Homo-oligomer: A and B are copies of this chain.
């Protein structure tokens, strides 16, 4: 193995879950783990077994990963308890994850104030816990909490903690700047001093962004000899977040001679992975994010734009395509065409760019995107749009009208009654059809009414399940009058998953558009024939 190999360890599913406002479910965790694996991340920290039902469910049925090692996070044993009798420690080592990362103290002040034990007891805790875990799993990482503060306060004690972990069988010691207070030059210096005693290919860096330096400190730590970087997608994490792997990876791959498992081909997915995470979290991607932001390669008219037209190197530090992003020149409307063509190829529509249909397709996509549609993460709607323009999507049904009534009132016994009722009128197979259904909320009622009338005609719809439903407001500042984008994820019993999108000023109308696409996509994919008239 080259001494330039740097391992990437992702904490999105654990540290990232600590972010204010972030609440992953199991499906989110599985989807993110798969994307991390596909990107070439070496370690995926899945969560903390025993800490909450979501993490237990995730580790109970862990996603199959191709390259990445699923890692469980946990704590070293409690003071005054043996490793055998510590339920938390036992939970940590008892999942399908063959790699575990265990946190312990290395700052004398913390040992004294937070744990209220002696330094030597702390060292015993580390040694016992690591040894216990090393017997039960393939690989143990020791997460040295507050290492930098600890090293500054008492370097001998902090190093003794690391040595205890190494002696007990840890594969890696993770130098954590837990409160994020270190400046980059201190991180570089201290990592350099640590790797004089512990080989760098056993030393990991774990930074938080409380001074806005987590990315730089991680890169400098690697220059100082560390060979593993821990961080999260989009810098997710509590307070100011963890080191942002989405910024670190392209700098490492494109601008240094360090080696990672992120090949140039895998790097092409970077922008997609970053946006997928935000979609899952139902939040707007940061436009100005390094490398992957929508504005990262945007050139506002004038001098810059024309210089970029002459030679992109004039104002671009890398080719945006290398990270799956693209140049955005505000003055010219020509940008994006090649990107849209690339997306057509991705869904199997290999059209000659000279074909006049291409212009119509590109125009249609641009028009929809202008209205607020986003096809990043709604591939099924994108496919339907493209195939619709090419004329090969049958007209399974046509909506005539719908009406949804929502009520909230109290009945004679003082009980709260909420009612949602949807009426749908549509035409299929030459017939006018109408149905009414109640539901648990207006979208559920609408979905029920649509299925009630369509399933007898199109039996494949029996096997259509709505898996997720997300709403995003696009023009905040206008409160409840804003434009609404609804994303629906559907699945069937064959394990197929597809996502559709609908946009409207009205949340119900936007939901209908996404529901309709979900139904039509299922029928189209199954090759259903249109209903006989």
Interface residues of A (CB under 8 A from B): 18-21, 23, 25, 27, 52, 109-110, 113-114, 178-181, 183-185, 209-213, 215-217, 219-220, 223, 235, 238-241, 244, 247-248, 250-251, 255-256, 282, 284, 287-291, 293, 295-301, 304, 307, 310-311, 313-318, 330, 333-334, 374, 376-377, 399-410, 418, 420, 425, 439-444, 447, 465-482, 484, 488-490, 504-509, 511-512
Contact = CB atoms under 8 A, between A and B. Distances in A.
A238 B468 contact: no
A39 to B, nearest CB: 17
A418 to B, nearest CB: 5
19 contacts: A114-B307, A185-B219, A211-B250, A211-B290, A212-B290, A240-B290, A401-B409, A403-B409, A405-B406, A418-B506, A441-B509, A444-B481, A447-B480, A465-B479, A468-B476, A468-B477, A470-B471, A471-B471, A479-B490
Nearest to A284: B476
A209 B288 contact: yes
3 tightest CB-CB pairs across the interface, nearest first? A466-B479, A181-B317, A216-B216
B179 A298 contact: no
B406 A403 contact: yes
A290 B467 contact: no
B310 A114 contact: yes
B20 A480 contact: no
Contact of A247 (B212, B219, B290, B478): B212
Given A420-B506, A480-B443, A300 B20 contact: yes
Contacts of A488: 479-480
A200 to B, nearest CB: 16
Contacts of A284: 476
Given A406-B506, A447-B480, A211 B317 contact: yes
Contacts of A181: 255, 317-318
A477 B282 contact: yes
B469 A477 contact: no
B374 A442 contact: no
B512 A408 contact: yes
A377 B178 CA distance: 23
A244 B38 CA distance: 33
Contact of A403 (B247, B296, B407, B441): B407
B288 A239 contact: yes
B178 A406 contact: no
Nearest to A252: B183
A468 B472 contact: no
Contact of A216 (B184, B241, B293, B471): B184
